[in-house]
Copies of this chain bind each other. A is one copy, B any other.
Amino acid sequence: MHCIEQHACFGGSQQVWQHPSTTLGCTMRFGVYLPPQATQRPCPVLYWLSGLTCSEQNFITKSGAQRYAAEHGVILVAPDTSPRGDGVADAEGYDIGLGAGFYVNATRAPWSTHYRMHDYVVDELPALVDAHFPTSTARAISGHSMGGHGALVVALRNPGRYRSVSAFAPIVAPSLVPWGEKAFSHYLGDDRAAWRPWDACALIADAGERLPLLVDQGEADEFIDTQLKPELLRETCARAGHPLDLRLRPGHDHSYYFIASYIGEHIAYHADALHG
């Protein structure tokens, strides 16, 4: 594992690291922000999962999250959104293949060779991060759109692993919307029963542990009615008795301008859970 970018930022250091991934069978990159406090003591980690078409760069260059991470003494880790490289399967469309791993473990050829983003995010990446950086044991997770789906699913599938979870404009019910139906049929096959463990609303209906969910959703989001459907999350949580703080934000769209406007509130929320 080696550092390919390093920038002073808000008293800490924004870095990008590259490493061979055994889980994914390719070379991967991730961003890590070390707040100033990390030179003094172990700090908790907030994992950020990005959306369709993103690499490790989008969040670290556009969200403005470092300012808040520096205030709260939280390490930020932002992985890429799919396996990468010449040997990695791809297909037509921004919503499948490279940049569109959907944070599942694919079971269907050709995807099953490399597309195991769930295990990468949950196991391999935290092990690497804990081995190389001054982390405490406390973790949280968040993400945007496809990465919001990822954050919710990863937290719900792994009870006790994360102190807190949040999402911006997540795909809450991928089994029921075009982005999810396309990705899941490629990665998991046509049997919809196999999709259930990768669908946040399905997981909430079945959940034992009830980790509260913080979700921000722009009301002017161009994907709200076709792909995101926050009302399904509200109904599912109400039915299951799952704690949900769903914040509908008038005028906001699906862009990083939306994320930048509220990432400070999310980091403060996670910091409370992580330092508590």
Contact = CB atoms under 8 A, between A and B. Distances in A.
Nearest to A64: B64
A223 interface: no
Contact of A256 (B10, B61, B255): B61
A66 B62 CA distance: 12
Interface in A1-43: 7-11, 14
A67 interface: yes
Interface in A222-276: 249-253, 255-258, 260-261
A194 interface: no
A8 B64 contact: no
Given A14-B257, A257-B14, A252 B64 contact: no
Contacts of A9: 257-258, 260-261
A180 interface: no
B61 A64 contact: no
Given A64-B64, A64-B67, A257 B220 contact: no
Contacts of A256: 61
Contacts of A62: 61-62
Contact of A260 (B64, B251, B253): B64
Interface of A: 7-11, 14, 61-62, 64, 66-67, 218, 220, 249-253, 255-258, 260-261
